[in-house]
Amino acid sequence: MIRSEKRRSEEPLDSNDLLRCQQVFEELKNELGVVEDAEEVNRLAAITIELYRQGVRRKDQLRTMVAAARGH
């Protein structure tokens, strides 16, 4: 019997995960001035979630990596 294991990146985010991502997203959205640019806001959210799913959990590290992934 083959046991199927989900990787962390495939598991749903819980409320604590979402809260951490939301905090980083909101801080960066305001700091980078992308509030009015819907495309950039969506990109910022996607990058934040993707990096979190890949294992970046520390808030400061997540902020740094999201900003770097945007190219700024």
Q: Is residue 1 part of a domain?
A: no
pLDDT at 34: 84
What distance in Å separates the CA atoms of residue 5 and residue 34, rounded to the nearest whole number? 38
Number of structural domains in the chain = 1
Q: Give pLDDT tens digits for 17-32.
A: 999 999 999 999 999 8
37: containing domain = 13-70
Extract the residue ranges of the chain whose pLDDT is less than 70: 1-9, 72
Six-digit token string for 48:
């934040």
Q: Is residue 43 part of a domain?
A: yes
2: DSSP letter: P
What distance in Å separates the CA atoms of residue 26 and residue 57, rounded to the nearest whole number? 16
How many residues are listed for the chain in this entry? Answer: 72
Q: Is residue 4 part of a domain?
A: no
Six-digit token string for 58:
């520390």
pLDDT at 32: 87
User: pTM of the full predicted structure?
Assistant: 0.81
Query: Rounded to an integer, what is the distance from CA 72 to the centroid of its chain?
Result: 16
